[in-house]
């Protein structure tokens, strides 16, 4: 029997626009802490708060994002929020105080919360149901590729051309993605019935609470990794090559996603998640105790491999516990867990670094992942098996 095609022109286009969105954002990630430190003389706690406001903004609107995605035309919502997200790059160009940068971060997070939820849901709508887990994995590769190239591009671009031009370049990339988005065709889905009234499950996937809590712990560890790596490299006297750290994370993610994505739809979803958790616990532990270049870059590769195992399975779990008209809610609940974890991780990491150092931050990250793993093993696994909808893996 011939497999249903995944790589249609529409799926390819949604992947490209998603890549451009995340590339523009990730290009700024490694330079913002240093930019705040050098331009505004901000301390670690102030930097942590400013960076965390992005996740706070995203988190606050996630539940409403799921409701909107399930209630209004998805392409229109994706286009409008993509436009607002791209426009927010102007804020970095004109903000002259750390307070304004903090406001821009918060507003950028608000728009990201909706655009990422709608983009994920549009991709799910485009994919054939029988290959959804595999397709979600491939769609996630575009984010990983942006994570590989964006920070490395940002570090090297800033060294040669300066941070101001980097802000303008991210704005231009966002506008280009917006232009491409006009050519996307999205299948019409039946919206949620308007006479059902408002209830909690219109905003939050209540059937996935254990999964939501355990993904928060993963985000707690991941937040410091993607935001404080340049400062940690300085702490351990690693003077160059930190841009490659992000590339190695993404290489690991892409390789493991491409290998594991087909297996998510073949009944190995829970096994993939458990393998991802186990690798993360060991990697963060090694990263916090051994401060050498080999461990530094090796950890990056294994963090990527672990997330490549864990993320496609996790997102598929949320989708498999939701009705078709709750896909937006499922995506927003999954991403809300990430946002909450990442935001808390960045904020707490800044405080820990102020009182100790970044090695202690990553030791705390390993403890957070271990707690998430234990919660999944003893609660999340069996809970998913009981609550997945008929026909799901």
Domains in the chain, please, with CATH?
9-187+203-387 (1.20.1250.20)
Q: State the burial class of residue 220 (Cβ atoms within 10 Å of its Cβ: 0-12, 13-18, 19+).
A: buried
CA-based radius of gyration for the chain: 20
pLDDT tens-digit readout, 180-218: 999 988 876 655 555 455 566 667 888 889 999 999 999
Q: State the burial class of residue 326 (Cβ atoms within 10 Å of its Cβ: 0-12, 13-18, 19+).
A: buried
- d(CA 46, CA 60) in angstroms, rounded, equals 21
Closest CA to 19 of 167, 154, 139, 158: 139
- Which residues neighbour 149 within 8 Å (Cβ) at sequence distance 6 or greater? 23, 26, 247, 250
Name residues of the chain where pLDDT drops below 70: 1-3, 188-202, 239-241, 390-393
Residue 242: per-residue pLDDT: 72
Residue 173: per-residue pLDDT: 95
Residue 23: per-residue pLDDT: 94
Closest CA to 317 of 201, 189, 210: 210
- Cα angle at 147 between 296 and 141, to 5 degrees? 115
- d(CA 3, CA 15) in angstroms, rounded, equals 20
Residue 45: per-residue pLDDT: 79
């Amino acid at each position: 029997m011939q497999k249903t095609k995944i790589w249609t022109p529409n799926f390819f286009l949604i992947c490209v626009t998603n890549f451009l969105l995340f590339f523009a954002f990730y290009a700024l990630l490694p330079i913002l802490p240093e930019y705040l430190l050098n331009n505004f003389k901000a301390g670690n706690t102030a930097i942590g708060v400013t960076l965390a406001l992005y996740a706070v903004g995203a988190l606050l609107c996630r539940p409403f994002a799921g409701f909107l995605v399930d209630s209004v035309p998805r392409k229109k919502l994706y286009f409008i929020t993509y436009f607002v997200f791209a426009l927010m790059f102007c804020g970095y160009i004109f903000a002259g105080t750390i307070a304004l940068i903090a406001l821009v971060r918060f507003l950028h997070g608000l728009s990201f919360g909706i655009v990422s939820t709608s983009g994920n849901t549009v991709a799910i709508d485009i994919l054939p149901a029988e290959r959804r887990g595999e397709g979600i994995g491939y769609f996630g590769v575009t984010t990983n590729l942006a994570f590989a190239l964006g920070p490395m591009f940002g570090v090297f671009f800033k060294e040669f051309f300066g941070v101001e031009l980097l802000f303008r370049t991210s704005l231009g990339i966002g506008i280009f993605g917006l232009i491409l988005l006009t050519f996307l065709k999205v299948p019409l889905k039946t919206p949620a019935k308007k006479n059902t009234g408002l209830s909690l499950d219109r905003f939050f996937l209540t059937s996935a609470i254990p999964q939501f809590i355990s993904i928060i712990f993963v985000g707690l560890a991941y937040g410091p990794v993607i935001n404080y790596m340049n400062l940690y490299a300085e702490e351990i006297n690693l003077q160059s090559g930190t841009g490659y750290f992000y590339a190695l994370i993404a290489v690991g993610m892409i390789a493991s996603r491409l290998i594991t994505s087909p297996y998510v739809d073949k009944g190995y979803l829970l096994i993939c998640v458990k393998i991802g958790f186990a690798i993360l616990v060991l990697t963060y532990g090694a990263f916090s105790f051994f401060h050498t270049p080999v461990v530094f870059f090796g950890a990056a590769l294994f963090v990527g491999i672990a997330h490549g195992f864990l993320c496609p399975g996790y997102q598929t779990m949320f989708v498999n516990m939701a009705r078709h008209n709750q896909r937006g809610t499922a995506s927003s609940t999954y991403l809300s867990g990430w946002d909450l974890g990442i935001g808390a991780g960045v904020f707490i990491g800044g405080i820990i670094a102020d009182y100790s150092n970044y090695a202690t931050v990553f030791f705390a990250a390993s403890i957070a992942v271990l707690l998430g793993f234990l919660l999944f093993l003893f609660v999340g696994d069996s809970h998913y098996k009981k609550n997945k909808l008929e026909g799901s893996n």
